[in-house]
Structure 1
Amino acid sequence: MAKYEERRFFMRQSLLVLSAANKVPLLSIIKKSVPTVKLIAGDVSANVLSSYFVDDFWEMPLLKDIEIDYFITYCKKQSVRYVIPTREGELLHFAKWKDVLEKEEIYVMISNRSAIELTSDKLIFYQTLKEYGYPVIKTSLNIADIESSSFVIKEREGAGSKNLHINIQKDEAMKVWPRLDNPICQPYIAGKEYSVDIYMMKNGKAKGAIVRERVLIINGESQITQTVHKPELAKLAMDVAESLNLYGHVMFQIIEDTNGRLHIIECNARFGGASTLSIEAGLDSFKWFIQEANNQSINDIEFKPPTKPLKQIRYSKDLII
């Protein structure tokens, strides 16, 4: 598509980012990727940073209080054609609505319901990947099932650092276990932790992947991240994503232990906190999503990963207005 036609195609259409909160880097990268789309941030609180970095802001009701007809009415009124969920708790909700919204020409960057249910449940995720023969980290509802000198205890569902306990001994694991709502146990494996961002196309194939080393992690989020050349790791993540029939931007967390063996930890079927680095590195997920939503094939678009490593440092910055 010619440059002029591309600009004209994107004009007067809106993209809604849900749970925008303080996700300014995400909003900035969307503006850079699809600059002529009207960008709307949605959040249940009006007192969030995102409201200062978008074209419009929606102080939306709690998700549990939104009926689908109300959501469609809002989208039609604001010319919202594209929706980006950014929070784990939104995924299943919008996966259920996906087909209905598409009939209204409102497209959500999200996998189907069965894929979301599978990736959201860490125990089912483990059981499924084990059946496929992938090197997934052992996961159990019983600490006694895990043979390890130290453990990782986390919630069975959800993402982030809430109720996450890493590299703890068995006696401590037994103490924290009752404090979690629905705990699972994994062995603690020493090694390097990587995130793999992937864009999955409508045809079920991976468009490309960027592997990031998580150099500095604070409260479960990467504060310093750099791209690395790990083709075997990228292929593993893409193979798994295709096996699970995922769609849109998805992210895997994988550990390479001290013997070079790979262990798949989990999959977040959404855009991650530090995934903006992968967009800069050539994984143009938002533009590809919009093109596919409008029945434009992206099969022949060349994916060009960086030839040199890119490093991302996440830090606070002042805005004076």
Structure 2
Amino acid sequence: MSSPPAEPLHYRCLPRRRVERGALAIESVQPDDIEAIRQWRNAQMAILRQDRPLSPDDQRAYYAAHVWPAMAAEQPANILVSILEHGRLVGYGGLVHIHWAHRRAEISFLLDPALTTPNVRYGRYFQGFLDLIRDLAFTDLKLHKLTTESYDLRPYHLSVLDRAGFARDGVLRDHVRVDGRFVDAVAHSCLAADHRGRGASRAPGPPGHVLVTSAGAKAPLIRAVKAAARAHDPQARVIAGDVDPAAPSFCLADDGWTMPAISDATMAAILDGCAGRGVGLVIPTRDGELGLWAAWAARAAERGIHVAVSPPAAVARCLDKLAFARAGRDAGWPVIPAVERVADAGPGPLVVKERWGSGSRSVAVGLSPAAAEAHAATLSAAIVQPQVAGVEISADAWLDRQHRVHGGPDGVVLRRRERVVAGESQVTVTFRHPDHERTLAGLLESLELSGPVVAQAIVDADDRLHVIEVNPRFGGASTAGIAAGLDPFGWTLAEAAGRPLPGADGLRRPGRVHQTRLAADHVVRLPDDAP
């Protein structure tokens, strides 16, 4: 007869066997966990107070002498917990060097090395653990203060602590030697009052500071970002960034930043400026800057700054209209063909435009081959396409980091561009067409895009779809997509914070959206002595 399973081990001083929030939970460390923990410690000695690899015998002896007996104590010196995601061990940590008389303890945390990259994933687990361990420490144990000590070779780790509400208490210069060089240790702390002051409703993840670049006069975009940011964090501030010190959007945003012109030479300084302003999310809005932000996104992430941009290859493919047309057609999508020579484009009528860039100023339509040759000669890198007769439409969507359209085909909002001025929709009306929605969802996912996107297409008299281009950014009239049920900035904030995205059921609101974009006055009353 088999014996009943052993009762899980548990610290006597903890009123709850498990503290959980969403998919993550912490519970007293178990014997079955300690071998994985040993391997993780040996793989990450550079960030630990451990000077030699541990053997299995070392690990078992330590736990037998120091951990298992302490579970029966009313006031143990250390409390070690396993970190579980959907019941699977993903890390461990706890409270160490507990000083019960002064009601303080130091936080310990170590993640499975397989989960430490990319930074945003590590940040999600670390932020989640910090929320759980503070709940345990301040609610269950009634501690007053938690501290951490982290080596400064881990800038992203430090940035998560900063964003989580830990105060930097100081720097211990050249405190430890790692790989032959001395490094500083940074001390953080969090008081029970600090934790309560953050409020239970505050969302984890990047701070509520959001930078919208090339903000210009994009008033609807600024308003949409502010609404999403406030929902994410009531303390959020939206910063409008632009090279123009008098950019009109500055008066609508919480702050304005006259930024240096974006180039490879200025990006490091721009990231410094973001860090100094507490920016946790950057939303690029202009085609000309997308490639640079995509190239620098990984370096921004190392500093705790999420950039809402597609991967570099996807951005490059969309910005190069010739490459986009070739890739789309090679993959079997209904993309309008493009060539470099007028002679290869057919008899006409033809469309001639710049290969790179956006806007309609250089586009000429309805051209004969001779007229197309003449117009192409005025452009720096012309491409030629057959003109397709029909109704011009746009399609708004948002894709997650796995390049999936959130909501699937229902997450593609089609709208007719009923009045177009300078390439932008002035009057737009949403409509439904399940076949076109499915086609565009498949095309966008095949391009491996992320974040907000807007596609341009034509529907001909036979109801066939012809895709012109895809812009990997929020569109000028994409607020109509928000009115129809999309939440691109809310989803971007949630993803950057490591929070699960809301379900897509019922994503679309009933009825059609008719949007007219109008100029509007923004009036502020100032005192007589104002500058």
Q: TM-score scaled to structure 1, two decimals?
A: 0.95
CA distance in 2, matches of 1:255, 1:87: 23
- Residue correspondence of structure 1 range 281-296 to structure 2 within 5 A: 281-296=484-499
**What secondary structure sits across from 2:392 in the alignment?**
strand
- Residue correspondence of structure 1 range 282-321 to structure 2 within 5 A: 282-298=485-501, 300-302=503-505, 304-321=507-524
Given candidates 213, 221, 233, the residue that maps to 1:18 is 213
1:70 maps to 2:269: yes
Query: What CA deviation, in whole Å up to 9, does each residue of 1:279-302 have, x standing for no partner?
Result: 121110001001001111216353
**Which AA in structure 2 matches 1:212?**
R
- The two structures, once aligned, show a CA RMSD in angstroms of 1.8
Given candidates 436, 440, 443, the residue that maps to 1:233 is 436
Residue 157 (structure 1) shift: 0.7
The ranges of structure 1 where at least 4 consecutive aligned residues each deviate by more than 6 angstroms after the TM superposition are: none
Given candidates 477, 502, 526, the residue that maps to 1:274 is 477
Contact in 2 for aligned 1:283/1:303 (Cα 8 Å): no
Given candidates 32, 38, 42, the residue that maps to 2:237 is 38
Q: State which drifts further: 167-176 or 223-232.
A: 167-176
* Count, aligned residues: 320
Change (3 A) 1:105 1:142: same
**Which AA in structure 2 matches 1:178?**
A
Residue 87 (structure 1) shift: 0.4
CA distance in 2, matches of 1:292, 1:301: 15
Residue 72 (structure 1) shift: 2.2
CA distance in 2, matches of 1:206, 1:73: 33
Change (3 A) 1:198 1:237: same
**What secondary structure sits across from 1:63 in the alignment?**
coil
Contact in 1 for aligned 2:229/2:238 (Cα 8 Å): no
* Corresponding residue number in structure 2 for 1:135: 334
Contact in 2 for aligned 1:85/1:91 (Cα 8 Å): yes
Contact in 1 for aligned 2:350/2:384 (Cα 8 Å): yes
CA distance in 2, matches of 1:56, 1:152: 42
* Corresponding residue number in structure 1 for 2:370: 171
CA distance in 1, matches of 2:207, 2:262: 26
Query: What CA deviation, in whole Å up to 9, does each residue of 1:45-74 have, x standing for no partner?
Result: 112210100110000111127533312221
1:187 maps to 2:386: yes
1:60 maps to 2:259: yes
Query: What CA deviation, in whole Å up to 9, does each residue of 1:27-56 have, x standing for no partner?
Result: 011122222321000000112210100110
Change (3 A) 1:292 1:65: closer
Change (3 A) 1:8 1:113: closer
Given candidates 276, 290, 300, the residue that maps to 1:101 is 300
Given candidates 459, 472, 491, the residue that maps to 1:256 is 459
* Corresponding residue number in structure 2 for 1:29: 224
Q: State which drifts further: 236-245 or 300-309.
A: 300-309
CA distance in 1, matches of 2:514, 2:394: 13
**Which AA in structure 2 matches 1:241?**
L
1:125 maps to 2:339: no
CA distance in 2, matches of 1:5, 1:222: 41
Contact in 1 for aligned 2:324/2:469 (Cα 8 Å): yes
CA distance in 2, matches of 1:293, 1:11: 7
| Structure having greater relative contact order (Cα 8 Å, sep ≥ 6) | 1
CA distance in 1, matches of 2:238, 2:265: 21
Change (3 A) 1:237 1:73: same
- Identical-pair percentage: 34
Q: TM-score scaled to structure 2, two decimals?
A: 0.58
Contact in 1 for aligned 2:283/2:308 (Cα 8 Å): yes
* Corresponding residue number in structure 2 for 1:144: 343
**What secondary structure sits across from 2:477 in the alignment?**
coil
Contact in 1 for aligned 2:329/2:335 (Cα 8 Å): yes
Change (3 A) 1:223 1:165: same
CA distance in 1, matches of 2:452, 2:201: 22
Residue 206 (structure 1) shift: 0.6
CA distance in 1, matches of 2:504, 2:455: 23
* Corresponding residue number in structure 1 for 2:60: none
Q: Which has the larger radius of gyration?
A: 2
Residue 136 (structure 1) shift: 0.8
Contact in 2 for aligned 1:148/1:188 (Cα 8 Å): no
1:50 maps to 2:253: no
Query: What CA deviation, in whole Å up to 9, does each residue of 1:255-285 have, x standing for no partner?
Result: 1111221111101000111011111211100
**Which AA in structure 1 matches 2:515?**
Q
* Corresponding residue number in structure 2 for 1:212: 415
Residue 160 (structure 1) shift: 1.1
Q: State which drifts further: 222-231 or 294-303.
A: 294-303
